[in-house]
Amino acid sequence: MSITSPYSYIFTGFVCILLIGFTIVLRFLLKERSALRELAYQDPVTGLLNRNGLDNFWSNYKSKESLAVLSLDLDFFKEINDTYGHQAGDELLREVSRSLKQVTNKNQLSFRVGGDEFLFIMKNCDPNKVRIMAGLLLDKIARPYYIEGRDVSVTASIGISISQGYRAERSRMLQEADNAMYYAKRLGKNRYWVFGESLMPEQVSPSQPSR
């Protein structure tokens, strides 16, 4: 009959402690890495995906399924920002982002790409559904917001590019959506426009740099 040495118990306990400690540290590092990755792709003001998130989407998008890009720009946001201050402006952006989140599902993604510019991407869609969504977004955004003790109203202009019949290409779709959005603003704001619908290049504002 063998007698187990007390040192073997000590050694076994020491190994167990090391394994437990290693597991805790590993979980912490993985959690931190996940949090940092989330921050890298998330806009700090609105919580929506940011430009990095947009880059990540296009890098991983390899499907030939239909795609629509809606370029959304708030009307007169600069005046609101200048009148009530940047803090109120940021709160208004957060409220608008909540409106976008309310209509977002697994086939739709919303991004804040800078200032008061947003992008809304729809997958597996047809033109009629895109128009319905654009109208819904306009209605949800054009409502009074209670910002720092006052009612603030804002509207939006939306430009749409739809990849029906051809493969979605980032630069083309973003540029088309931007051009259509500027045309919607020229038509009077608080409306959407689909690129290609009686829209000629000379009718829109000078092209802006692609996002």
Average pLDDT over residues 147-160: 92
Segment 176-199 mean pLDDT? 90
Whether this model's pTM surpasses 0.85: no
Give the pLDDT confidence of 70-113 residue by residue, as tens digits.
Answer: 999 999 999 998 999 989 999 999 999 998 888 888 889 999 99
Q: What is the mean pLDDT of the chain?
A: 81
The CA R_g of the chain, rounded to the nearest whole Å, is 25
Q: Which of 50-64, 125-139, 177-191 shows the lowest mean pLDDT across its residues?
A: 50-64
* Residues sharing a CB contact under 8 Å with residue 140, sequence separation 6 or more, in sequence order: 99, 102, 103
The answer to whether 118 and 111 have CB atoms below 8 angstroms apart is: yes
How many degrees, rounded to 5, is the angle at CA 108 between CA 107 and CA 109?
A: 135
Please choose, from the candidates 207, 171, 206, 201, the residue with its C-alpha nearest in 3D space to the C-alpha of residue 69: 171
Mean pLDDT within 186-205: 72
What stretches of 50-180 adopt beta strand conformation (E)? Answer: 67-75, 108-114, 117-123, 145-147, 150-152, 155-162
pLDDT digits (tens, 9 = 90+) for 22-48: 666 656 544 545 444 556 899 999 999
